[in-house]
Structure 1
Amino acid sequence: MTFFRRIFSARPVFLTAAALLATLPVAAQQKNAPEPPRGPDRSAAYYHYSLAHMYEELAINQGRTDYATQAIEEYKLALNADSDSAQLQNGLADLYLKLGRVREAVSVAQEQVKKNPDDVEAHNILGKIYLRSLGDGTPNNQSQQMLQLALTEYKAIVRLKPDSVEDHLLLGQLYALNHENDKAEGELKTAQKLDGTSEEVILAMVRLYGEQNQYDRIAQLINALPITDRTARMEYSLGLTYDQLKKPKEAAAAYQRSLDIDNDNLDAQRGLASALLLDGQFDAALKQYQDIVTAEPQDAQSYIRISEIQRRQGHYDEALTTLKKAKTLVTDSLELSYNEALLYDSLGRFDDAVATLTKLLGDTAHADGNYTDGEKNNRGLFLDRLGIVLKEQGKTAQAVDAYRQIIALGGDNVSRGYMGEVDAYRDNHEWAKMTAAAAEAAKALPKDKSVQMVYAGTLADTGKVDEAITIAKAQLGGDDDRDTRMQLAQMYIRLKRWKDADEQLSQVEGITSRNEDKIYLYFSRGTLAERQKLFDQAEIEFRKVLTLDPNNAATLNYLGYMLADRGQKVNEALDMVRKAVELDPQNGAYLDSLGWAYFKSGQYTLAEEYLLKAKDRISTDPTVYDHLGELYLQTGKLKQAVTWWERSMKEYKMALAPDADPADQAKVQKKLDSARVKLARATPSRTSALQDK
């Protein structure tokens, strides 16, 4: 039996490479080879290849460079025996690659490609080398060169292996890296046709569409797969996509399916908890966050979210306790401090809220006044909340100062700051300053249609109607100028020009297709109908909104208040307004609506609690004081009723014309006069009291 037959016989021989090498004759281990024959000597080539393979194994297993050198020499001897062998050429190139001798690997593989352009293995080796070079931290120009070389190789590979999912996937990713998105999509779609449920292919397409902000396409891509074929990562990606599309209900469902597949994924559970919170499912969100902190007790972010839910559910003391727990885990969280300020505001601890926000602004201030875009956004948010709290305290000048600081941040913050300033003066009934601030904003931002419309609105409110409408109409950019027409319709509603308002809304209706736009349209139609006392029609329009967005706080408040005020469907109305307050617990108008709904349902203690909270937040609203008067009359506190109706009339006299319906004023005046008479009758005169003595 010859030597090779003994080595590779059918009978298994369990020898290591070292042991096998030891069995070779001494002459066989010598490096020097005879002159190669004129033609291929395949037996000699096979012999040296076998030795090369054994030395390669020894080099890898034992980390010995001498064996690596010997393996290379044996490959070269094998190639001397059979220089046209693609297997030998590629084997040597691959060995060079394993040893980190990249330049030599490239040289050998390129030589083989020149000999045989269709040698897929040689292209594979070159492709792997160039791929590795992309991530080695080389300068950009070299990276770009490596990218082009890698593209060349993988284009050749997919030509030679058209049914390879992995190679189409890699080529698609390379095209994406080269910003050739159409070609990238084409390769990934080819890979998807070859394997429609490949997780790697689907996620690569998700990344491609995500980089282009094409979130609708991601949703379509994953939803096209049967649920049973989706992996946990696919569902997680779908949840993230719905987050971007601001569809929390759909996001929650996707995250839940991801967890059903992999229930140990805390990232998916955090996504589910966040989506539930955004969807207003507070109890369900709270449970998820509580499960998260049980699994990961050091997760300060989840404690902050738990505190937020407790605050929004009105459990203020619990929320404060939870925040204190979060503080033990993290000391420099901007979000924690901001939520603490919101909590103090909810508790009516306005000074504490101001102090917390002021400290937050101080801690994040830069002496040179230079901020990144992210820092500007944060400061704008903090200053805006500070302005709101200061307005609630009646500190208008300080609130305006906060809004001026927002303006100084520049960019998108400018219009936000001006609008805050206008609202601060409006809330304090400083009409001249309100109009002046709006005029300044309009001059500073002449191309900002929203700012121009706010200025027009202030002019209309203060009686300069013709000038206001001229400015507003000048903002129209054509029949498709949807947003401007909506704002113009709102102006007409405040001016009680019902026909003009309806005309604008009708034009908008013809160019409205997105659900987000339909919501605003239906809400405006509901407002128009309610202001004309067409309550049934108003209810139809408001319910259209809630069909599209069950958590639309403004609509829940408006419809709930309208129903409660008329004594209709009071329990449902109470649920609606309660939900609106949960969604926006610092909104004074919503608090007033909730107090009034409790009053209408006969729950006077709760009515008083929420009406007083509303009074603290919107202290210039005559309606709140009217409601307090009704409450105290009903509960037998006549003197207090008189006090609040007197305050209501005072606010009516200071209000703008669109906010002071003469019929409403007349009703309050009548109630006040009647209460005064009753109070006079119930209070004995001083003379009578002396005669009684």
Structure 2
Amino acid sequence: MWRSVGVAISLFVSAQATGRDQDHSQYSSEEALRRYAQGRLLEEQGVRNQALDEYYRALSLDPTARDVARRVSEVAAQMGDPGRSLEFAERALATDPTDARARWLKGAALLNLGKDADALAMLQSAVERDSDRIEYVRTLARAAEQLDRFDLVAKSYRRAVWLDDEDGEAWFQLAAAEARQGHFGLFFLRGWIAEARGRPEEAEKDYRQHLQAHRDDETARRRLTAVLARDKKYREALEETRILARAHPRDLELRHLEADLAFEGGTPAEGMQSLDRLRADFPDDPEALNVRLAVLAQHGRAKQAVTEAERCLSDHPNDMRALLLAARSRELSGDTAGEIAHLRRALEAAPDSLAPPVLLARVYQQSGRASDAEPLLAKAHARFPDVPAVAFDLSQCREKLGDFAGAEAAARDVLNREPDNATALNFLGYLFADHNRKVNEAVALIRRALAQEPDNGAFLDSLGWAYYRLGRLAEARSQLERAVAVSGGDPVIHEHLGDVYKDMKLKELARDQYQKSLSFDRANERVRAKLSSLR
């Protein structure tokens, strides 16, 4: 299954072309660039030794090419050669001491060489520079564990679950680290297990008992809040959120949740008070205004959201962020034409920025205008080749246009740059499986993704679907049943598992899966037809 990555494009991205374009000028010779490109191609084909030979030739032509040195370090690490990985990470850092990925590579190499203290310092600096890369955070946790720094282990896994709150392994490691410090007791662990098994009442009870003894445990309080909100106990969830928000008044996510829960709990006056406090605390912050507009629109106040966004735009008529906010308000109010008009103006105001063309392309696609979206995305991908989300959008757009080869090419562009990008491996694998093409390659790609994230429900679904395409029904069933368990339920996974059961002549099981799929989307005619065919 391909699950949209959500995507790593903020409404307020305003990177200039000079800062984010692929900078081929860093290579002092065209031959060095050609060697580097050939090395990336060989990497994708799995011929790492030959890829290294090309990288070495590129470095001999241009000794200061940071990307090449970093690539050698990464490949050496994948081949189990930490000494060589360390050498070339240091070479990359000699060119750019601030490079977070080179610092991570150096730290990981030091860790694998048994130099735990040195590794810890380097990995901490990598995370300080880029705390949104989950692999950096996980490696830091490993180093901290080697040194019995359980406080830092817990901090690292807290960040990991913040980045991916569906990462069961990270939650388990966080619980273990907290328990070693005496922070988590039996009740937290019981609550976490009950939550994972879909038993919200047990989870709530256990988390509350834990919090009686550990009132300052914010991780447990966040879990309790999530359980209460999912169980539609909005007033109780609101009280827990307010405790967290008082401790972190600058946390926009908590302030968003606080206002949203007040509306959901049937107290709109309290919701508006929360939004007014948010505006007072963040008077000129576009992200805070975006939160306010989203909550207003979600709770029947779309016209007010549009009015406030247009007022902001009138105060800042040529500001890209104000234009994007105005477009967002139109989207929330269902005014597609108004949204497109504002996004076009944003594109004119900031032609070298990433957000306007990508957001405009998405609106075009949602409006059935994929042919208008494709050139925007192709241009954005050419300008920002290091942003995988743009390549994925381009691939999906071309798929809608019936251009399978173009869709494949866009996805492969990501793997040419990042051969071990798990999301890209799954994306391309699912593309193949869903179109019933190159399915054996799809299996290989998805397995590589799962080797990195074995409990990823979307990846498990992709593998199960590929097995189904190959007629390997028993293996498909095993993977898809696990995907359902890990994901907690998803309409696509339920549909896929229903198809497997149907072909295995397990009609009652198939019927149950189709019904579960429809519980997410009653209007899905394809699933309705499959369900009807069983009667």
Matching residue of 1:502:
374
Query: Could you tell me the percent identity over the aligned residues?
Result: 14
Kindly tell me: are residues 256 and 479 of structure 1, through their superposed partners in 2, closer, same or farther at Cα, counting changes over 3 Å? closer
Report whether the alignment pairs 1:254 with 2:106: yes
Matching residue of 2:121:
268
What amino acid is aligned across from residue 484 of structure 1 in structure 2? Answer: P
**Separation of aligned partners in 1, 2:226 and 2:428:** 24
**Separation of aligned partners in 2, 1:604 and 1:281:** 34
Kindly tell me: are residues 292 and 614 of structure 1, through their superposed partners in 2, closer, same or farther at Cα, counting changes over 3 Å? same
Superposed displacement of residue 528, structure 1: 1.0
**Counterpart mapping for 1:148-167 below 5 A:** none
1:460-514: per-residue Cα shift (whole Å, max 9, x none)?
xx5x54444333323331644543122111211222213211232355467x2x5
**Separation of aligned partners in 1, 2:447 and 2:239:** 36
**Separation of aligned partners in 1, 2:497 and 2:414:** 30
Matching residue of 2:510:
641
Report whether the alignment pairs 1:323 with 2:166: no
Matching residue of 2:309:
442
Kindly tell me: are residues 490 and 561 of structure 1, through their superposed partners in 2, closer, same or farther at Cα, counting changes over 3 Å? same
1:556-590: per-residue Cα shift (whole Å, max 9, x none)?
553343234345234334336547867xx8xxxx7
CA RMSD, Structure 1 to Structure 2 (Å): 5.5
Matching residue of 1:17:
none
**Separation of aligned partners in 2, 1:543 and 1:398:** 50
Superposed displacement of residue 285, structure 1: 5.0
What amino acid is aligned across from residue 526 of structure 2 in structure 1? Answer: K
**Separation of aligned partners in 1, 2:160 and 2:350:** 44
Contact 2:104 2:136 survives alignment (8 Å): no
Kindly tell me: are residues 305 and 346 of structure 1, through their superposed partners in 2, closer, same or farther at Cα, counting changes over 3 Å? farther
Matching residue of 1:675:
534
1:542 to 372, 386, 411: 411
**Separation of aligned partners in 2, 1:386 and 1:376:** 11
Contact 2:481 2:497 survives alignment (8 Å): yes
Matching residue of 1:575:
447
**Separation of aligned partners in 2, 1:483 and 1:607:** 35
What SS does the aligned partner of 1:496 have? coil
1:454 to 314, 321, 328: 328
1:311-362: per-residue Cα shift (whole Å, max 9, x none)?
8363754542322223549x99x9x945546777999995799989954741
**Counterpart mapping for 1:381-530 below 5 A:** 381-383=253-255, 401=271, 404=275, 409-410=281-282, 411-418=285-292, 421=295, 425=298, 433=300, 435-436=302-303, 439=306, 442-443=309-310, 445-446=312-313, 447=319, 448-458=322-332, 462=334, 464-475=335-346, 476-477=348-349, 479-480=351-352, 482-508=354-380, 512=383, 515-517=385-387, 519-530=388-399
**Counterpart mapping for 1:608-687 below 5 A:** 608-611=481-484, 614=487, 622-634=491-503, 637-646=506-515, 648-649=517-518, 652=521, 665-676=524-535
1:71-99: per-residue Cα shift (whole Å, max 9, x none)?
xxxxxxxxxxxxxxxxxxxxxxxxxxxxx
Kindly tell me: are residues 603 and 500 of structure 1, through their superposed partners in 2, closer, same or farther at Cα, counting changes over 3 Å? closer
**Separation of aligned partners in 1, 2:478 and 2:461:** 9
Matching residue of 1:302:
153
TM-score (norm 1): 0.45
Structure 2: any 5+ residue segments left out of the alignment?
1-63, 74-82, 185-209, 314-318, 468-474
Superposed displacement of residue 609, structure 1: 3.9
**Separation of aligned partners in 2, 1:284 and 1:478:** 38
What amino acid is aligned across from residue 288 of structure 2 in structure 1? Answer: V
Contact 1:556 1:580 survives alignment (8 Å): no
**Counterpart mapping for 1:115-134 below 5 A:** none
Kindly tell me: are residues 435 and 505 of structure 1, through their superposed partners in 2, closer, same or farther at Cα, counting changes over 3 Å? same
Contact 1:649 1:668 survives alignment (8 Å): yes
What amino acid is aligned across from residue 309 of structure 2 in structure 1? Answer: A
What SS does the aligned partner of 2:147 have? helix
Most deviating of 473-482 and 485-494:
473-482
What amino acid is aligned across from residue 508 of structure 2 in structure 1? Answer: K
1:423-445: per-residue Cα shift (whole Å, max 9, x none)?
x94xxxx8xx4855753563364
Matching residue of 1:30:
none
What amino acid is aligned across from residue 329 of structure 2 in structure 1? Answer: Y
Matching residue of 2:147:
292
**Separation of aligned partners in 1, 2:531 and 2:137:** 42
Kindly tell me: are residues 312 and 453 of structure 1, through their superposed partners in 2, closer, same or farther at Cα, counting changes over 3 Å? same
Kindly tell me: are residues 632 and 498 of structure 1, through their superposed partners in 2, closer, same or farther at Cα, counting changes over 3 Å? same
**Separation of aligned partners in 2, 1:551 and 1:344:** 35
**Separation of aligned partners in 2, 1:358 and 1:577:** 40
The number of aligned residues is 397
Higher relative contact order (CA 8 A, sep 6+): 2
**Counterpart mapping for 1:223-234 below 5 A:** none
Contact 1:338 1:382 survives alignment (8 Å): no
Structure 1: any 5+ residue segments left out of the alignment?
1-217, 367-374, 655-664, 677-693
1:312 to 131, 152, 167: 167
Most deviating of 255-264 and 481-490:
255-264
**Separation of aligned partners in 1, 2:360 and 2:522:** 27
Contact 2:306 2:329 survives alignment (8 Å): yes
**Counterpart mapping for 1:33-72 below 5 A:** none
Superposed displacement of residue 380, structure 1: 1.8
What amino acid is aligned across from residue 502 of structure 1 in structure 2? Answer: E
Kindly tell me: are residues 468 and 449 of structure 1, through their superposed partners in 2, closer, same or farther at Cα, counting changes over 3 Å? closer
Superposed displacement of residue 280, structure 1: 2.5
